[in-house]
Amino acid sequence: MMTSCASLSSRRGKRVIFIALFLFSCLLLYYFAPHIKERALIVTSQGCATFIKKPQDQPPLEPPMISPDRFPTVFPDRPKYDPTTVTKETRLAAIAVHGFTTMDQLYLRNGTFYIVTSNQYGCPLLENIIPHITISPETSQFLEDVNTHPANEIRLITPQQAAYILGDRVMGIEGLSVILYDTTMMTHYYHWWGEIILGFWRAYSVLDLPKTSSLYWPSRFIIPFYQGNKWRDRADIDGPLMKSAFPSATIESRDYWNDLLKLDITIVFQRAMIISRHVTQKHPNSKIWPKMIAGLMGLDVHERFWESLRVVLVRNLVGSLPEIDEVGKIISLEHETTIRPAITYISRQNGGRRLTNDSHDSLVEALAKLEEEGVCDVRVAVMENMTLNEQVRLSATSTITIGVHGNGLTHQLWMPSSRRSTVIEIVYPGSTDFDYWMLSQNVGHKHYLVWNDTIKTINPHDKVKILDGFHDNAIPVHGEAVANLIRSLLRET
């Protein structure tokens, strides 16, 4: 009888445990079911299942960053941006580097920027975002009324202060706004593309480190200190290239900024990057490399971060994307192929800062011998006699670019990176500058300086040295020394 009771008690105990487990499972299911439904099961390339967050009902705000092997033909529609209230806090969207600061929910009222935050210690120093601007004679000619130039101020306020400082009337500007808060050195191909845009893309690419395609093409570039088209370079290259790289983005100048000020209401940028050349000079790296993007060189970005922008620009402008293999041969360009790498020598003989005539002739002769030997194909380019389409196409099919220090070497931005891609920069013997070395470090090319018959690689700790003769029209070069360098580069295994 006791055994029977014990057995009955044991069965009841097990039943109680089973019921308790069942109820606990139901509770877990009730709690987690909504979250599980919000996730979508995917299969990775390795065949393993994993969970990711379900995409939002609304598409992304801007076309996602395009990887080199994906070219979407239709971008999703942009949803309407709701700025809600001015008490929504400003958020630092990426690592802030002197002169390159990306923020979400950045406020503007009467020309003053406002960062709304309850944690001032999480905000970068305001002087590392925008400087105190002094209107120079160069800039004043671009402004209709110097007395109404943008306020040189950015303020930090709490959500409570925002209620009475910013008011309750808010106009939202959706997408990414790139605000070029500068008064000098914008009307130049190298400074625009090799510093401002390259710097913007490197700083912005920090957000794409996980490679989740979370970046979106900018909606607008705002230039508060320049009137109309005064920001354009003399050769009128910057504007057309901007349209090729950012087809949907507008470029807004002083009039646009004045219109915002005249509204006399609070503006809130959904996402904004403020870029200031003056502030970049405060970064410690600028003491080593006195260049605008010096402070960005330590940022952890994907090694081919520039490729996504290069691909879009070249594809839009040229009409197709040249593909070059690791040894420099064109393997795909509208059914065109080559059996040898292409070398482009950019001649400056019709302009300033050029080779002596004898040096130019010796270089062309030495390059012609390389072509006769079957080492490479050689193109001697006079860029001012070519259309912009032809210039970019030439660079996009080059493995090695040669030229005297100057704007033409900025075209290396459109040259594909490979094991052999190289920039050979000719300067007055003994001189050193970092302009085109720094570009090559960002976009993935080797770089060599040529001092007449001496080949030099730049040490990052070298000092800038601009000797008398650097900008002259009598720069010497030993053509055979350049040819021998090319031979060694193209024969590397």
Residue 38 lies in a domain: no
CA 442 to chain centre: 10
Per-residue confidence band for 163, with pLDDT thresholds at 50, 70 and 90: confident
Between 20-29, 111-120, 204-213, 305-314, the lowest mean confidence (pLDDT) is in 20-29
449 φ/ψ angles, rounded to the nearest 5 degrees: -95, 145
Task: Name the amino acid, one letter, at 313.
Answer: L
Task: Name the amino acid, one letter, at 277.
Answer: R
- Residues 144 and 273 placed together within one structural domain of the fold: yes
- Mean pLDDT across the stretch 210-237? 84
Residue 36 lies in a domain: no
- Residues 334 and 200 placed together within one structural domain of the fold: no
pLDDT value, residue 50: 23
Per-residue confidence band for 214, with pLDDT thresholds at 50, 70 and 90: low
How many distinct structural domains can be found in the chain? 2
- Residues 373 and 254 placed together within one structural domain of the fold: no
Q: Burial of 475 by CB count in 10 Å (0-12 exposed, 13-18 middle, 19+ buried)? A: buried
3-state SS, residue 353: coil
Which of 221, 222, 281 has its CA nearest to residue 98?
281
Residue 466 lies in a domain: yes
- Contact (Cβ atoms closer than 8 angstroms) between residue 162 and residue 115: no
Each residue of 427-477: pLDDT tens digit?
999 999 999 999 999 999 999 999 999 999 999 888 899 999 999 999 999
Which of residues 305 and 83 earns the better pLDDT score? 305
pLDDT value, residue 99: 93
- Residues 430 and 357 placed together within one structural domain of the fold: yes
The answer on pLDDT for 3 being more than 50 is no
- Mean pLDDT across the stretch 131-152? 47
Distance of alpha carbon 147 from alpha carbon 160, whole angstroms: 32
- Residues 376 and 279 placed together within one structural domain of the fold: no
By residue range, what is the domain housing residue 118? 91-296
Each residue of 392-414: pLDDT tens digit?
999 999 999 999 999 999 999 99
- Mean pLDDT across the stretch 115-132? 86
User: Bridge-partner residues for 49, per DSSP?
Assistant: 43
- Residues 282 and 379 placed together within one structural domain of the fold: no
pLDDT value, residue 43: 25
Distance of alpha carbon 195 from alpha carbon 54, whole angstroms: 38
Which of 103, 270, 258 has its CA nearest to residue 171?
270
The tokens for 363 are: 């270089």
Question: Cα–Cα distances in Å, from 6 out to 1, 9, 11?
Answer: 9, 5, 9
Residue 426 lies in a domain: yes
- Residues 158 and 285 placed together within one structural domain of the fold: yes
Per-residue confidence band for 87, with pLDDT thresholds at 50, 70 and 90: low
The answer on pLDDT for 102 being more than 70 is yes
Residue 80 lies in a domain: no
Q: Which of 247, 279, 296 is the last residue of a domain?
A: 296
pLDDT value, residue 72: 33
- Residues 339 and 446 placed together within one structural domain of the fold: yes
Count H helices and E strands in the chain, helices first: 13, 18
Q: DSSP letter at 121?
A: G
Enumerate long-range contacts of 355-359, CB under 8 Å, 24 or more apart. Answer: 355/404, 355/426, 355/475, 355/476, 355/477, 356/474, 356/475, 356/476, 359/475, 359/476, 359/477, 359/478, 359/479
- What's the CATH code of the domain at 403? 3.40.50
Q: Which of 236, 261, 296 is the last residue of a domain?
A: 296
pLDDT value, residue 28: 52
Residue 349 lies in a domain: yes
- Residues 328 and 283 placed together within one structural domain of the fold: no
**Residue that is written with structure tokens 């029209």 in the block:** 473
Q: Which of 281, 296, 311 is the last residue of a domain?
A: 296
- Mean pLDDT across the stretch 96-115? 92
Q: DSSP letter at 239?
A: H
Residue 246 lies in a domain: yes
- Residues 237 and 361 placed together within one structural domain of the fold: no
- Residues 224 and 348 placed together within one structural domain of the fold: no
Average pLDDT, the chain: 81
Residue 56 lies in a domain: no
Each residue of 178-192: pLDDT tens digit?
999 988 888 999 999
In the chain, % of residues over pLDDT 90: 55
| Most confidently predicted of 92-96, 143-147, 189-193, 315-319 | 189-193
The C-alpha angle with vertex 430 and arms to 426 and 431, in degrees rounded to 5, equals: 65
Each residue of 335-383: pLDDT tens digit?
456 678 999 999 999 989 999 999 999 999 999 999 999 999 999 999 9
- Residues 347 and 452 placed together within one structural domain of the fold: yes
